[in-house]
Amino acid sequence: MSEARIDKWLWAARIFKTRSIAADACKNGRVMVGGTTVKPSRMVKVGETVSVRKPPVTYSFKILKTIEQRVGAKLLPEIYENVTTADQYELLEMSRISGFVDRARGMGRPTKKDRRAMDAFVEPSLGYSEFDFDEDWDDEDL
């Protein structure tokens, strides 16, 4: 097989869980081949580079073999080569550290515990102690 549909290849290479999710990603402009967005029916060939944007990271894969049937995870090194740059993985790590990854979009307002954790991450030096006073005073002033 010298060519394969991009949505089938993305599903078969286990980049997306289902073929319909892969097709939706193509329709929404999250999949690019050679720097241009593609439709789900676009045929891909060996040697092309596929970029998949899964916020906050854009993954890049070089196609080594075109398939349309899903294969086992052990066979994936024969199917594609991951050519994602190191700075994309740094973005992923920073988003994990920030603590916002655990909170799904649309979950509503953060709880008081979540807000305090976010505040402590952003400005860790703002922790107040009961012994911090704004004013200097003497016993003579009493």
Query: Which range (10-19, 31-40, 131-140) has the least confidence?
Result: 131-140
What pLDDT, in 10s, does the model give residues 68-86?
A: 999 898 999 999 999 988 8
The answer to whether 15 touches 61, Cβ cutoff 8 Å, is yes
Residue with tokens 């086992």: 72
- Taking the whole predicted model, whether its pTM rises above 0.85 is answered as no
Q: What is the pLDDT of the chain when averaged over all its residues?
A: 83
Residue 119's pLDDT is 82
pLDDT value, residue 135: 57
* Between 82 and 93, residue with greater pLDDT: 82
Predicted pLDDT at 26: 94
Determine which of 46-50, 81-85, 89-93 has the lowest per-residue pLDDT on average.
89-93
Q: What is the pLDDT of residues 103-122, one digit of tens each?
A: 566 677 878 888 888 788 77
Residue 98 has pLDDT above 80, yes or no: no
Q: Which two tokens stand for residue 94?
A: 């920073």
